[in-house]
Structure 1
């Protein structure tokens, strides 16, 4: 891939989509939904990483018997577009002004917006660079609707939660890895367009 001024972390966050179960990120589930954590004690100086995010899309190995590399590339393209819009939303604790509706199903987006609303109420935002390494782990292009699963390794070492009322950085929970596993389920609709229908983050699994 976050928030409530929580002093403890959540083991993982699951975004529900229709009858299916993203990550949401982010998003983010360490304290605070998207990528936020527990509130710091006064006096902790703010440390903000560079504001330009860095994205990395690894080539995706197809499952045994699958050969549709064009479809795989399209799945990753849409996933990365969703990721960039999701990160943009966490920087301002709002989905307004993003194109998330193009890349997420209504239910998946609703789960993300709930997380963003919590951040807004707690007056926190995200800063820095959130890196990731997605690959397509499964692809069922011959089914209806066509589906795909994207496995991602999220690196949040330079992704920080800030308290907008003080400008202070909110430290990450010490018991959570800086790199964790996220999974996205994607479907292709009637318009041949892929969307993220489920996003789950497992912040207990390092990668």
Structure 2
């Protein structure tokens, strides 16, 4: 993940790829998706304390409003995806995670690529990012419902470390600690799946 270079896993991401590449060059793997850009109205200043918390706005009308219910389900899947991605990066391995339950296509491939980079670099992550995610578009018609999520991702408490020593690898000097990340989701059967995760290193938040 530019600092948008990625943290672990095109960490979408998380975001790992761009960042991972930089880390390999500098001796540290920090795979997070970079988000940057200023003041996008879709990103609020408040970050949730955990990956999953970014995805569960509960509304009283969700049970009677199909749009509200779908948005809640999308954010729930987005939070679960991040929770599993954080587990994968913490172990530098997707085994033992439910990442495949929530991610597919590019999002899953990106995370798996970040994990491979981390394994080669001998790194892992500690802590977790925080989120301020919102569903910015939703289409329930057609064969496959689709949604877009925009997130202000804060990676300041998500550190990359050397697995053998525990030494924290510093962020690149150009890596923003908070940036906009956009996710694409599709509903497959009853489950919303994250198909793409794109960090924007030019939009801080």
TM-score by length of 2: 0.74
Indicate the SS of the match to 1:54: coil
Q: 1:88 to 1:121 in 2, by over 3 A?
A: same
1:48 corresponds to = none
Q: CA deviation at 1:77?
A: 0.7
The CA distance in 2 between the partners of 1:32 and 1:123, in whole Å, is 12
Q: 1:27 to 1:179 in 2, by over 3 A?
A: same
Task: Map 1:64-79; keep pairs closer than 5 Å.
Answer: 68-79=67-78
Q: CA deviation at 1:84?
A: 0.3
User: Which of the residues 192, 195, 202 maps onto 1:194?
Assistant: 192
1:171 corresponds to = 170
Q: 1:87 to 1:37 in 2, by over 3 A?
A: farther
Deviations 1:115-155 (A, max 9, x none): 11010110000012311111100001123311000001110
1:28 aligns with 2:16: yes
1:182 corresponds to = 181
1:160 aligns with 2:159: yes
Contact 1:29 1:201 in 2 (8 A): no
The CA distance in 1 between the partners of 2:11 and 2:161, in whole Å, is 20
Q: What's the C-alpha RMSD, in Å, of the aligned pairs?
A: 2.8
Indicate the SS of the match to 1:137: strand
Deviations 1:83-103 (A, max 9, x none): 100111010111110001111
Equivalenced residue count is 174
1:44 corresponds to = none
2:118 corresponds to = 119
Contact 2:105 2:196 in 1 (8 A): no
2:54 corresponds to = 57
Q: CA deviation at 1:37?
A: 8.8
